[in-house]
Amino acid sequence: MVSVGIVGATGYTGIELLRLLLRHPEVAVRTVTSRSEAGRRLDDLFPSLRGQTDLSFVAPDQADLQACDLVFFATPHNVAMGSVPALLDAGVRVIDLSADYRLRDPELWSRWYGEAHASPELCQQAIYGLPEFNRDRLGDAQLVACPGCYPTAVQLGFMPLLAGGHVEPGQLVASCASGVSGAGRQAKIAGLFTEVGENFKAYGAAGHRHLPEMEQGLQQIAGTPVSLTFVPHLLPMSRGILATLFGQLRSASDDVQGLFESAYQQEPFVDVLPAGQLPETRYVRGSNRCQLAVTQPQGRDTVVVTVAIDNLTKGASGQAVQVMNIMLGLPEVVGLDGIPVVP
């Protein structure tokens, strides 16, 4: 059994990690940390875990994380970067679900996050954890930066088009909408039910922290500079992302349906829908599945890709478990083969 620890398990990605890892046949959760809930049983804070674990939260400075084989950071940005170097020196492998190591350029990170990076030397070392693109590099990885939820949907949607040079890389547009859990488990007025319910709004249109991550990944896929216009929206529901992507085809005669089916036919968690069908967030809820569809309206040179994922699963914790499976040499689907919850 592989011994794992989770740093910061009181948030939505943390509880999603616990939901998946406590049922994983090859994993033993050794320690779970929280500053605010130290000493409290997990199943007291999260009654959904009753009968699954008798663990209690431990304060981070009292947790023996170096005794773990692998540690997940399910924390806000700027937490992991202060602790990861010591864990790596101790031979512990790390999967970071925060934004601390997603950008390879620490100066770019500092511009978007407004502070100096605490371990900039590791930004180049971290492997970006999008399995469908970086699978071959994950097996030996010591530090993995798990992609953000919006970047996962956007990159999977554009990947076949950019990898084959089928669209103009300087004219990409992504209009994406996320459930409220994407903002984290914090008491904020903007996340209150009465503020979110019966409402739909855009935010971050002038610049969102996920934009440089997306452009970095899309450029690696395309092998050439890209330019992305990204506008996120807030959906009045708890979880899920629907991304609508637009690109200009270099040839309107391309078989885009066949292109996507061929690109993803061997991927266990990417489901290309038949022509004429469109994805919906409820059909991926609680699963590590990405459903997408590609359309060429009126046969013109604009291609539209629609992508649905669960922001907490394929967009965060499920993808982290998928990455862990690859790192451990396990089948990617282990612990992730649950069927989406409908309705």
**Same structural domain, 28 and 103:** yes
**Domain assignment present for 335:** no
Indicate which residues carry an active-site annotation: 149
**Same structural domain, 22 and 87:** yes
Average pLDDT of the segment spanning 317-323: 98
> Phi and psi of 121, rounded to 5°?
-65, -15
CATH number at residue 35: 3.40.50.720
Residue 107, domain extent: 2-125
247: helix, coil or strand? strand
**Same structural domain, 204 and 240:** yes
CATH number at residue 286: 3.30.360.10
**Same structural domain, 298 and 157:** yes
As given in the structure block, the two tokens for residue 104 are 């390879």
**Domain assignment present for 130:** no
Report the pLDDT value the prediction gives residue 188, as an integer from 0 to 100.
Answer: 79
| CB neighbour class for 103 (10 Å; exposed up to 12, middle 13-18, buried from 19) | buried
**Same structural domain, 203 and 262:** yes
Residue of 7, 341, 12 lying closest to 180 (CA atoms)? 12
**Same structural domain, 75 and 208:** no
> Looking at per-residue confidence, does 343 or 127 come out higher?
127
**Domain assignment present for 135:** no
**Domain assignment present for 114:** yes
**Same structural domain, 120 and 154:** no
- For residue range 34-64, list pLDDT tens digits in order: 999 999 999 999 999 999 999 999 999 899 9
**Same structural domain, 164 and 298:** yes
**Same structural domain, 113 and 211:** no
**Same structural domain, 121 and 154:** no
**C-alpha to C-alpha distance for 207 and 114, rounded to whole angstroms:** 14
**Domain assignment present for 110:** yes
Strand ranges (E), 104-200 = 127-128, 143-145, 172-178
DSSP3 helix / strand / coil % (the chain, rounded to 5): 35, 20, 45
What total of structural domains would you count in the chain? 2
- For residue range 114-165, list pLDDT tens digits in order: 999 999 999 999 999 999 999 999 999 999 999 999 999 999 999 999 999 9
**Same structural domain, 210 and 84:** no
The secondary element (H helix, E strand) that includes residue 261 is helix 256-264
Average pLDDT of the segment spanning 214-236: 97
